[in-house]
Amino acid sequence: MKTEKKVPAKKAAPAKKTAAASAAVAKKPPSGESRTALVRRARRINRELAEVYPYAHPELDFENPFQLLVATVLSAQTTDLRVNQTTPALFAKYPTPEDLSAANPEEVEEILRPCGFFRAKTRSVIGLSQGLVERFGGEVPGRLEDLVKLPGVGRKTAFVVLGNAFGRPGITVDTHFQRLVRRWQWTEETDPDKIEAAVGALFPKSDWTDLSHHVIWHGRRICHARKPACGACPIAPLCPAYGEGETDPEKAKKLLKYEKGGFPGQRLKPPQAYLDAGGTAAPPLGAA
């Protein structure tokens, strides 16, 4: 019996699989990780992701705070790509809060139909535009407490605007961010506000906005919800969840999305740094 157990073990352990098995063990952070060790591991993950995604940026097209605010509200329950394909027509017809606040809802609904939940989103963008006109002279405020008073604007949306339009640090806790920080055991919290507080405590405030981009980009491109591409993950040695997804390097490569998989990104007008790094702009709505 002992001989029979040893033979398959030796046969089933060619160099490639043995290496993978050893790596899997090495990729488990020690149980009972101390607070200091957690902070170090979390910050190292962010540094590694910064090297993988040096061109990380908001994946919504915008030219000013108002456009970013509206686009972020529209991005709920849909992709940034779909929003980017839709907003050019919206902003061409309603370029300012004053214009959108006085818009015919039915006409706005028709433009926003591709984004899904277009009636509710129409109410939100018209309502927030009216709020901007009535309370802030048509200008997007640069304070969290003011932004969250606008219709359809929560903390996540506010931090996107503050971090990317005003340069004020904030953590954007979207579904990708929530999934990854729990996989990495940065926190066990499930409430977005508590996740924001727990993760924020691991990093200097100045890192928060870029951290959000790095984590969200990684969630969209490699660490997917259903089939994470573990075998193509640059931070696998630091991940407690290594092995939840495809670990074979070749199979994992086929799961990569956007520019990591050789496909277009989500922005029609991405930053030049993204294009210089090999990224490809998304096609406009209706393109073949």
* b/e map 216-249, b = 16+ CB within 10 Å: bbbbbbbbbeeebbbbbbebbebbbbbbebbbee
Question: Is 174 considered catalytic here?
Answer: yes
Q: What is the largest CA-CA distance in the chain?
A: 83
172 touches 156 (CB < 8 A): yes
87 touches 61 (CB < 8 A): yes
**Among the listed residues 177, 175, 119, the one whose alpha carbon sits nearest the alpha carbon of residue 152:** 119
How would you class 34 by CB atoms within 10 Å of its CB: exposed for 0-12, middle for 13-18, buried for 19 or more? exposed
Residue 115 carries which DSSP code?
A: G
Phi/psi of residue 102, nearest 5 degrees: -100, 10
Sign of the CA dihedral with 205 first, then 210, 212, and 214 last = negative
Catalytic-role residue among 156, 207, 210, 260: 156
**Among the listed residues 227, 221, 219, 265, the one whose alpha carbon sits nearest the alpha carbon of residue 243:** 227
Which tokens belong to 196? 């924001």
CA atoms within 13 A on the CB side of 250: 1
Which tokens belong to 97? 């809060």
Number of Cβ within a 10 Å radius of residue 258: 19
Question: Is 156 considered catalytic here?
Answer: yes
Catalytic-role residue among 80, 174, 207, 210: 174
State the DSSP H helix or E strand holding residue 62, giving kind and residue range, or none if neither.
none
Q: Supply the residues annotated as catalytic.
A: 156, 174
